[in-house]
Amino acid sequence: MEIVQAIIDRINYIGAAILFVIGLYTVLTHPNLIKKVIGINIMETAVFLLMVSVGYVAGGNAPILGLTKEQTSELYVNPLPTAMILTGIVVAVSITAYSLSLIVKIYEAYGTIEVDEIMELRSEKAVE
């Protein structure tokens, strides 16, 4: 029972780790470039989840000053990780956008977005 309790207590962290591994697995195994980008996105989500969970304080309020009425306790949730995650999401979005646009260009250039086929095309060219 203790183990289950411990898992439940740390479910966010475990979830983050699992998501990270899933993302990595996706990037690792899929030759499709878009799927690789999706994998990267999953990994990003994992990191954000971890970061946000770090800032969470059990029973804490939203860190907005002046909300005295609904305040149930003296505790506030740490606002800093949330702010950072916002930055992180912006970064993640820009990277996703950029990589998708690159994929479009790659498709135009090679006619495929499977990395295996692209590498084959390249090595054929190298042999020539």
Partner 1 sequence: MKRPLNSMQFPLYVLLLLLMGSVIIPLTTEKFNMKAKTVILGTLVLSWGMMLSTFINVLREGPYLYNIGNWGPKIGIQFNIDIFSTSMSLFILSLSILVIIYSLKDIEHEIYFKQISVYYSLVLLLILGMVGITVTNDLFNTYVFMEILAITSCAIISIKRKKENYMASFRYLILNTLGSLSFLFGVALLYMVTGYLNMSEIYIRINQVWELYPTNLLLALGLMLTGLGIKAAVFPLHVWLPDAHSTAPTPSSALLSGLVVKVYIFTAMKLLFRVIGLEIIDTINIPSFITYFAVVGMIMGSVFAIGQRDIKRLLAYSSVAQIGYIFLGVGLATELGLSAGLFHVVSHGFMKSLLFLSAGAIIYKTGKRDIRTFKGIGYQMPLTMILFTVGALGMIGIPGLNGFMSKWYLGFAVLEKGQPIYLIVILLSSFLNAIYYLPIIISAFLTEGEERNIMVLEDIPKTMSIPMVLIASFCIITGFFPQIVMDVVSRAIPTFL
Partner 2 sequence: MNIVKPSRKEGTKKTFDYFSINCVLIFLVAAVSTLLFVASTLTGSDGNVIGSGSIQTTIGYILKLKPLPLFIIMFPLIGGPLEALIGRKSENLRDSTVVDTTFITFIAILAMYPQVSRGTMNYFIPGVFGHGLSFRVDMLSFIMAATSGVLWLMVTIYAHDYMGIEEHRNRFYLWMSVTYGGVLGTVLAGDMLTMFLFFEIMTFSSYMLVAHNQSKESILAGNNYLYMGIAGGLSLLLGIMLLYAYTGTLNFVPLASQLAELGWRKYLITGLFVLGFGVKAGMLPLHIWLPKAHPVAPTPASALLSGILIKVGAYGMLRVAVSFFVPAANEIVSFGDSLWVVSERLGAIIIWTGVITMAIGVFMALQQSNMKKMLAYHSISQMGYIIMGIGVASYLGYNGAMGFSGSIYHIVNHALFKALLFMVVGLVYLRTKELDMYKLGGMWKKMPFTAFVCVIAILGITGMPGFNGFASKSILHHAIIEAYEYGHPSFKYAEFIFTLVSAGTVCSFIKLFKYVFCGACPEKYKNIDGEKGMMDLAMGGLALMIIAIGQAPNYLLNQFIIPATEGLTFDPAFINEYLVSMDFFNAKDVLGMLWIYLIGIGIFILGTKFDLFHLHLPRWFNIETAFYKPMARGVIMFSNNITKHYEIAIIKSDIIIYTCVLTGIIFLLMKFV
What residues make contact with partner 2 under the rule CB under 8 A? 24, 27-28, 115, 119, 122-123, 126
Q: Quote the radius of gyration of the chain (alpha carbons, Å).
A: 21
Chain centroid to CA 27: how far? 12
Apex 54 CA angle, 53 and 58, nearest 5? 70
Q: Rounded to 5 degrees, what are φ and ψ at 31? A: -75, -15
Residue 74 has what DSSP assignment?
S
Q: What, of partner 2, partner 1, none, does residue 123 touch, CB below 5 to 8 Å by kind? A: partner 2
User: Binding mask 29-68 vs partner 1 (x if CB under 8 A, - otherwise)?
Assistant: ----x--xx--x--xx-xx--xx--x--------------
Chain centroid to CA 74: how far? 32
Binding residues vs partner 1 (CB under 8 A): 20, 24, 27, 33, 36-37, 40, 43-44, 46-47, 50-51, 54, 80-81, 84, 87-88, 91, 94-95, 98-99, 102-103, 105-106, 109-110, 118, 122
